[in-house]
Amino acid sequence: KNEVEQSPQNLTAQEGEFITINCSYSVGISALHWLQQHPGGGIVSLFMLSSGKKKHGRLIATINIQEKHSSLHITASHPRDSAVYICAVRFGNDMRFGAGTRLTVKP
Amino acid sequence: DVKVTQSSRYLVKRTGEKVFLECVQDMDHENMFWYRQDPGLGLRLIYFSYDVKMKEKGDIPEGYSVSREKKERFSLILESASTNQTSMYLCASSPDFYEQYFGPGTRLTVT
């Protein structure tokens, strides 16, 4: 069983819709990362958080340490948001990755 | 900006060949990582290095070795490529084990 579970695995939305991607983990962590991977493979870091909420543009990430759960929200989604979104958790020097959520936003 | 480059974006090799994947970072980071990414499994750590000539096994080191002769360069070696090593390989570097910067990836196909 993966220590990091993401849902949904695949998500298709219409442009403008509000998107939520969820991440649950089973271990105590020091930080949680949300990563974005565009077609072609390159990965960029969107957020690193250990408590509360962070916002960057149309992206919002929240974490509930007690419930071991994080969400990534995208407001007013756009086709350029189409990518794979990956949740990763850090405990000590170890990092564990979710399998990713493939988001497709249609115009 | 941190830049992590990988030697090839796409690579096709035959079973039994020795394969070298190279990764170079330009930010003087001490820590470098090699991952493979497979559908439904997410990223899995193969090896990491926390200093020149230092290396540690990750979760799936079997069939792989690494070399770090210079701080900026971390090489992944497949001694005898097999079809189950067909995958996307991602390199990353990090100053502190918290923030990792990823390369563009190498999609390796072993036939």
pLDDT in tens, chain A (107 residues): 568 999 999 999 999 999 999 999 988 888 899 999 988 778 999 999 989 999 999 999 999 999 999 999 999 999 999 999 999 998 777 888 999 999 999 99
Query: Is the minimum CB–CB distance between A88 and chain B shorter than 8 Å?
Result: yes
Note whether B83 and B111 are within 8 A (CB).
Answer: yes
Helix (H) or strand (E) segment spanning residue A32 = strand A31-37
Cβ–Cβ contacts within 10 Å for residue B101, how many?
Answer: 20
Contacts of B44 in chain A (CB under 8 A): 97
Q: How far apart are CA A38 and CA B104, in angstroms?
A: 10
Q: Which of A43, A48, A93 sits opposite B102 (nearest CB)?
A: A43
pLDDT of B32-82, one tens digit each? 999 999 988 889 999 999 999 999 999 899 999 999 999 999 999 999 999
Q: What is the predicted pLDDT for the residue at A71?
A: 97
Q: How far is A71 from chain B (nearest CA, A)?
A: 18
Tokens of B31: 């820590």
CB of A67 within 8 Å of a chain B CB? The answer is: no
| Contact assessment for residue A24 and residue A5, using Cβ atoms and an 8 Å cutoff | yes
Subunit contact B105:A40, Cβ cutoff 8 A: yes
SS3 B42: strand
Q: A101 is written with which tokens?
A: 């959520």
d(CA A16, CA B12): 40
- The pair of structure tokens assigned to B69 is 């002769």
